[in-house]
Every structure is written in C-alpha cells, then in structure tokens.
Amino acid sequence: MSSLVIHSGRVVTPQSVLDPGYVVVEGSTIAQVGEGSPPPCERAIDAAGLWVLPGFIDIHCHGGGGRSFQEADEEAIRVALAAHLRGGTTGIVPAIAACGREERHACLDALRNGVTSLNFNLRDAEPSVGPGPRLKFKDVTPAVLGAYVEGPYFADKERGAQPLGLIRPPDPEDYRPPLREFGELIRVWALAPELPGALEFIRELREHGVVPALGHSDASEEHVEAAIAAGARLVTHLYCAQSTFHRVGAEKRLGLAEMGLLREELVVEVIADSKHLTPNLLRLVLKSKPPSQVCLITDAMPAAGMPPGEYEFLGERVWVTDEVAYRADRERYAGSVLTMAAAVRNVAAQGADMVAVAEMAALTPARVAGVDRRKGSLEAGKDADVVLMDEGLEVRQVVVRGRTA
C-alpha cells in the first residue's frame, strides 16, 4: 500500500491547529494526524507555510466551467466537477433547480451514474475489471455525494431565479415517484413551508432520509415553527429569496431568515461572496450561529470559473461579472460564481478562525449530506480529502481520496 505524508504545515483538525502538524495517508484513507515530526513515508509533500485543511464539501452547486449539472450530460458533470476541484471542493451535492418531472428524472439519473462511476474510479480499481462505469473519468474529481432538489414547491413571490410557471404547492403524485426511485441519492429537498401540503411533504422527506430545507419562501414565524416540528433542518441560502424581518400592523415579526438564525435545529446555508450577503450581514450570521450550524455553499451557476460576459442559466440570459451573476434587469442576482476557496477567504476575512472555517466549509456540510463518518475533517479513518492553502488562502494543492490533483 502506498503511503504519503503531508508535513510541516498548519494542520486544521476539528479541535485545534497543529503547527507544525502532519497527515499520514495510506491508500485513500487518513491513517494518522499528529503534531511535530512525522513518521517516514514513501512520498512526502512539504506543506511548510501552508494551511492543511479538510477537502471542502459544497452541498448546493448548479455547475461551473461553463456547464450545468442540470444538462444531465456526463461531459457537463465532469467539466463542472473539475471547475470546482480547483476551488478546493472534494465532495459536491449537485443542485437541480425547479423543473418539470421528466427533466428532474433525467438529471437524477445522470447524477446516479456519476456517483457510481466516481466511487469506482476513486477506489484506484483497475479500469478494465468488472462491468465498468458508464462514465470514464480519468482525472481526479470531487466525489458526487448525492443530489439537492430545489422545489418546484416555492412561493411565487420569492422564486428568485427559479423559473415561473413551474412553481406550485407540493403534490404527492409529483414527489413520491422520485423519492421511491432516487431516495438514496437525494440528500436535500428545498421547499416553502407555508404552502398547502408542505408539512406532510416534510414528514415524507424525513421518512426517506432526505433533509428538508426551507427556501424560496414567504414563511411567517409560525410556518417555520411548524416546519421544524415536522422535521425541517436546513435553510436554503439564508437571506436570499426568503421572508425577513417585517411588521404586521404595529408588531415586529421575524421572517424565515431570522428564524434560521434563532433556532438551533436549523443549519443555515450561506453564500459568502460578499454580494448575496454583504460583509456586515455575513458577520451577523457568524455572530449568531456556531460553526456547527453554518454551512458554506457556492450555489454556483455554470459561469463559475469562466470569464465575465453574458450566459444563459435556467432559460434566461444572465450577466456575469467576476463577482456575481445578475439577471437581465441587473437589479437581482441570478446565482453566484463562487468557489469554496473564495467563500473560505471571505469568512476568514470577517474574523472566523481556521478551525471554525474548516467546520463551516467541510464538517457541517458533511453532516448535512450524511457523509461525516467518512468525510469533513482531518481525522484517522476518514477519506484522505485534503486542501493545501497558502497565507492568502489560495489553493495550492488538492488531494482527493489520497490522489493528488
């Protein structure tokens, strides 16, 4: 078995920063994490002056490198995965925006093939042995950890970039077939809890092991409380496309966003691009919630990792700068062009320490995706997914299940 040691870096574990620390990798797994002088290994990576972090996990991502996961196309999936690998992502839950039943089925089917073949490839198996995967990924890519389904059970008023026309209340005839067929693949399903039938849908999601997420919603405090009681555990891109603090008559009322900050049952997704959340709003979130309840996401649209210009996304023309994607009216956002590395830089710039940053970028998302026993932190026995970053938090090297990219 081949062994690798990453040594002399600042190794970020869930408890502390080991400086200097080392990570020993045997095959695809972390064998040992320690402080000081490392044991001898066949191969070594000198991480002096670098942060050694767990590979980032992005549970909400639509695409990158010019391609969308929603194309349900093998090459598109590969290109988008490769684009996010460069941002330090080693595990990803591709998102499917509100769409019709047939399109959703095709997307889920393509992602299921991606999961199968990626696991096969990353196990260092002989490619010619066995029935073989349908996808032939030669490169090291982030692992596809499941699928994130968005709606179409959303509030018209808060649909954001989700296509109109498809938006409607939960319908068992629409959601039961995919839950039966793809229940193991679907990790998260987002909905507006104030719609008729929403609470029953939330309960059914929990029965299938799917995390119910609240988003694209005009929910009141009472709607959110009922949703939590039914099993909701996540808020989709906090402060984006959802109700916020408002007045009802003379009374001041919280929206979904503030309920997300308040209630410890809810993990909140954060698009930390300093656009979807301004730096002050990001600081408010970081002050209000512990890292175990904050999940950094990119919610990246396909132009992430591409030059600025005009692109199409979810059937609409969008204008992309180097910071964010705008809808045609340039008044509203159409998604982010973030990488996880940029999100990490932005939360660190607001004062989060590196242990907290690693938790928000890797361990909390791993818990949401249900893979935290294998991924999300630098601990013996877990997959050897590692990101090396320099002083400026730029990615210098990525290791995916023991293989350097």
Query: With respect to Zn ion, which residue has the nearer C-beta, 5 or 96?
Result: 96
Can you state the percent helix, strand and coil of the chain, rounding each to 5? 30, 30, 40
Shortest CB 216 distance to Zn ion, Å: 9
Least CB distance to Zn ion at residue 235 (A): 13
Query: What's the closest the beta carbon of residue 243 comes to Zn ion, in angstroms?
Result: 18
Query: Applying CB under 5 A, what is the total number of residues that bind Zn ion?
Result: 2
Q: Give the three-class secondary structure for 51.
A: strand
Quick one: 236 or 346, whose CB is closer to Zn ion? Answer: 236
Site string for Zn ion, 56-95 (x = CB under 5 A): ---------------------------------------x
Nearer to Zn ion, 80 or 95 (CB): 95
Least distance between Zn ion and beta carbon 252 (Å)? 30
Within 90-149, which residues bind Zn ion (CB under 5 A)? Answer: 95
Helix (H) or strand (E) holding 257: helix 256-262
Do 154 and 191 form a contact (C-beta atoms < 8 A)? yes
Of 312 and 353, CB closest to Zn ion: 312
| Cα–Cα distance, 394 to 366 (Å, whole number) | 22
Examine residue 218 and tell whether it contacts Zn ion (CB under 5 A): no
What is the smallest separation between the CB atom of 29 and Zn ion, expressed in angstroms?
A: 32
Residue 23 or 240 having the CB closest to Zn ion: 240
Query: Quick one: 95 or 167, whose CB is closer to Zn ion?
Result: 95
Give the single-character DSSP code of 242: B
Smallest separation, CB 299 to Zn ion (Å): 5
Choice between 95 and 115, CB closer to Zn ion: 95
Contact, 144 vs 182, CB < 8 A?
no
The β-bridge partners of 51 are 10, 389
Question: 269 CB contacts (<8 Å, ≥6 apart)?
Answer: 59, 60, 213, 234, 235, 236, 237, 238, 295, 296, 297, 299
Rounded Cα–Cα distance for residues 18 and 401 (Å)? 21
Nearest-approach distance from CB 271 to Zn ion, in angstroms: 9
Distance, CA of 9 to CA of 18 (rounded, Å):
8
Name the minimum Å distance from CB 232 to Zn ion. Answer: 17
- What stretch of H or E contains 117? helix 101-122
Strand partners, 295: 269
CB nearer to Zn ion: give 33 or 93.
93
The site map against Zn ion for 147-186 (x = CB under 5 A) is ----------------------------------------
CA-based R_g, the chain, Å? 21
**Nearest of 348, 318, 349, 355 to residue 333 by alpha carbon:** 318
> Which residues lie closer than 8 Å to 35 by C-beta, 6 or more apart?
11, 18, 19, 20, 21, 22
**Considering the complex, what minimum distance in angstroms separates the CB of residue 61 from Zn ion?**
8
- Contact letters for Zn ion, residues 289-308 (x by CB under 5 A): ----------x---------
Comparison of 95 and 259: residue with beta carbon closer to Zn ion: 95
**Residues near Zn ion (CB under 5 A):** 95, 299
